[in-house]
């Protein structure tokens, strides 16, 4: 625990910014160049120096405008700390708590920025594993920065994370079993998007007894049923991101971005009598229920998307378009 006014080398502590399971973050002043920075002090200070450097070295591989950047790592006064970019603003969690459901244009713009950050991290082989609104910073100019990649680890080409790390409301079924893969981050992004569009989580925090229901998709209520202002294509994107079965979920953040960008394409107006989305029903005057929403998602998205390459969810090697088992690691898709 650092205190206000304490100095670590050239850095002077201004105030605490927050604390999590892995470390505490402080606002500090670089007294040499007169600039505000964020300093993260890991809780575990008794590790060897090589272990302490693992997180900053991982963070240094991520260089993207939507990811909090790292400046350096130092050890001063027998305290190891990481110096990072200070983002003046608030967390996405604060924004949702204050504003409730965001309008669809704002929520979609935010989702795009998060997806860009996740896509960049995945290209570097990094899985976040704890993507959620408290770990997303919103600057005063509306730029989003994803933080706390320190709970991540490199995902080797033929392996996946095996440690259960994350926040249960944002975790897909496989992550409860210690299997964190690229598509796991996209599920968490789907939950975050859902929260932005509705102002609330899709379901209560799952308990171990809820896991079978979560795997079946029985806990999920379509966001459009909670907020009828959500356009059906946007509703479908959220539901696909949150598909319990990995094979039915987005495999890459780029695919999700493709569908979000396709929403900007002008579409001919449909006659209200023949457009079920105009009345929020099946087209025959009956209300839309959860089963209708879930059943039609994959079909509607497939109708809009162009064919994309398939990759094994576990080893990430390319798959034939019609295979249901990876020829490299034998994992069922």
**What's the pLDDT tens digit per position in 259-310?**
999 986 444 444 343 343 333 444 433 344 444 444 556 556 555 554 456 6
Q: What are phi and psi of 41, to 5 degrees?
A: -110, 110
How far is the C-alpha of 9 from the C-alpha of 77, rounded, in Å? 8
Residues 2, 13 contacting (CB under 8 angstroms): yes
pLDDT score, position 141:
92
Strands (E), 53-200: 70-76, 79-84, 89-91, 126-127, 136-139, 144-146, 153-154
180: three-class secondary structure by DSSP: strand
pLDDT at 160: 46
| Residue segments in the chain with a per-residue pLDDT below the cut of 70 | 150-166, 264-310, 313-317, 320-323, 328, 330
Sheet holding 70-76, edge to edge: 7-8, 11-19, 23-30, 35-42, 79-84, 70-76
Tokens read off for 152 = 């991540």
Task: Tell me if 309 sits within 8 A of 300, measured CB to CB.
Answer: no
CA distance 221 to 209: 19
List active site positions.
Answer: 130
The candidate with the shortest Cα–Cα distance to 89, out of 46, 143, 52, is 143
Could you give the count of Cα atoms lying within 13 Å of 211 in the half-sphere of its Cβ? 9
The conformation of residue 150, written as its DSSP 8-state character, comes to: G
Q: Which residues contact 288 (CB under 8 A, 6 or more apart)?
A: 222, 224, 225, 276, 280, 281, 282
The answer to whether the beta carbons of residues 23 and 41 sit under 8 Å apart is yes
- CA 233, distance to chain mean position in Å, is 20
The end-to-end CA distance of the chain, in Å, is 46
The 10s digit of each residue's pLDDT in 232-264 is 999 999 999 999 999 999 999 999 999 999 986
Domains belonging to the chain, first-starting first, are 7-84 (3.30.200.20), 89-263+305-319 (1.10.510.10)
Tokens of 321: 């378009």
């Amino acid at each position: 625990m650092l205190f206000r006014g304490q100095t670590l080398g050239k850095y002077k502590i201004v105030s605490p910014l927050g604390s999590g399971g892995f470390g505490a973050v402080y606002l500090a002043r670089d007294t040499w160049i007169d600039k505000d920075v964020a300093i993260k002090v890991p809780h575990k200070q008794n590790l060897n120096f090589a272990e302490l450097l693992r997180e900053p070295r991982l963070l240094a591989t991520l260089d993207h405008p939507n990811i909090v950047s790292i400046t350096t790592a130092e050890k001063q006064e027998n305290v190891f700390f990481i110096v990072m970019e200070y983002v003046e603003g608030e967390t996405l969690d604060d924004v949702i708590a204050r504003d409730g459901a965001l309008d669809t244009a704002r929520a979609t713009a935010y989702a795009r920025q998060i997806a860009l950050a996740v896509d960049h991290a995945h290209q570097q082989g990094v899985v976040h594993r704890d993507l959620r609104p408290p770990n997303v910073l919103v600057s005063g100019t509306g730029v989003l920065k994803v933080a706390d990649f320190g709970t991540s680890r490199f995902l080797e080409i033929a392996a996946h994370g095996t440690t259960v790390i994350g926040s249960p409301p944002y975790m897909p079924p496989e992550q409860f079993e210690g299997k964190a893969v690229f598509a796991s981050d996209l599920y968490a992004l789907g939950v975050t998007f859902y929260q932005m569009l509705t102002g609330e989580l899709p379901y209560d925090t799952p308990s171990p007894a809820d896991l079978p229901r979560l795997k079946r998709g029985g806990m999920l209520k379509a966001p459009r049923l909670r907020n009828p202002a959500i356009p059906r294509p946007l509703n479908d994107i959220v539901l696909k991101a949150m598909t319990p079965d990995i094979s039915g979920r987005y495999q890459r953040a780029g695919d999700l971005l493709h569908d979000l960008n396709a929403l900007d394409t002008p579409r001919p107006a449909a006659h209200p009598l023949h457009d079920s989305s105009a009345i929020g029903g099946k087209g025959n005057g009956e209300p839309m229920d959860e089963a209708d929403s879930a059943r039609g998602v994959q079909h509607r998205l497939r109708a809009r998307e162009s064919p994309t390459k398939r990759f094994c969810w576990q080893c990430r090697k390319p798959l034939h378009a019609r295979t249901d088992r990876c020829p490299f690691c034998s994992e069922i898709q």
